[in-house]
Amino acid sequence: MALAPKQIAGTLLFVGAAQFMIFIIVAEVLYPNYSISDNYISDLGVGPTATLFGGSAFLCGILILLSAYFCFNSFNDKIFSIPLGIAGLGVAGVGIFPETLLEFHIPFAVMAFLFGPIAILASYRITKPPFSYFSIILGASALLALILLYLRITLGLGVGGMERMIAYPLLIWASSLGGYFLAASEK
């Protein structure tokens, strides 16, 4: 049984986001004295968890990038597929270039954190309620968190906590959209 492009896109999104969420948690546990409030997520990309974090981020990014290709084949929607692909490229770049290479790391992190919420908001065009409404909420909250972090407003969460208010909605949405595509393919 051959998978349809929508099913392939869903599988890639789900696997990419789910494995990255799991390995972020594993890396946080393994990294000595790591604080989810005080440390950036990318701090996990240096030191004892560098290989684990970098490999997981790279895999997540590549799977999102591939999913964007299959989303375009399935929906022919550039307004959604291009930001999704750019976000995936950003995540892959974060996996390749750790914080010790800030001149490369920062542009890729910005790509992921800016184009991720844009892709979430644009997914409204290819999904149906209530999922499309959840996408608007997640995309808007991630974008608001990005703006607040840029303004150095952390709402008591610290830089790491505020960064997670950007990253986790993206990862939750990506894994959920993957499931949405897989469930929709059964009909």
Domain parsing of the chain, residue ranges: 5-185
Alpha carbon distance 53, 120 (integer Å): 23
pLDDT for position 185: 63
The DSSP secondary structure of the chain, one letter per residue, reads -PPPHHHHHHHHHHHHHHHHHHHHHHHHHHSTT--TTTS-GGGGGSGGGHHHHHHHHHHHHHHHHHHHHHHHHHH--HHHHHHHHHHHHHHHHHHHS-GGGHHHHHHHHHHHHHHHHHHHHHGGGT--TTHHHHHHHHHHHHHHHHHHHHTT--TTSHHHHHHHHHHHHHHHHHHHHHHHHHHHHT-
Instruction: Say which CATH topology domain 5-185 has.
Output: Rhopdopsin 7-helix transmembrane proteins (1.20.1070)
Q: Count the neighbouring beta carbons within 10 Å of the beta carbon of residue 151.
A: 8
Chunked mean pLDDT (size 10), the chain, 187 residues? 90 98 98 97 97 98 98 96 98 98 98 98 96 97 98 98 98 97 76
Distances from the Cα of 100 to the Cαs of 115, 124, 161, 167, in angstroms? 23, 37, 21, 20
- Tokens representing 108 are 């890729």
Instruction: Return the sign of the alpha-carbon dihedral for residues 185, 123, 159, 156.
Output: negative
The closest alpha carbon to 181, from 84, 82, 91, 67, belongs to 67
pLDDT for position 2: 82
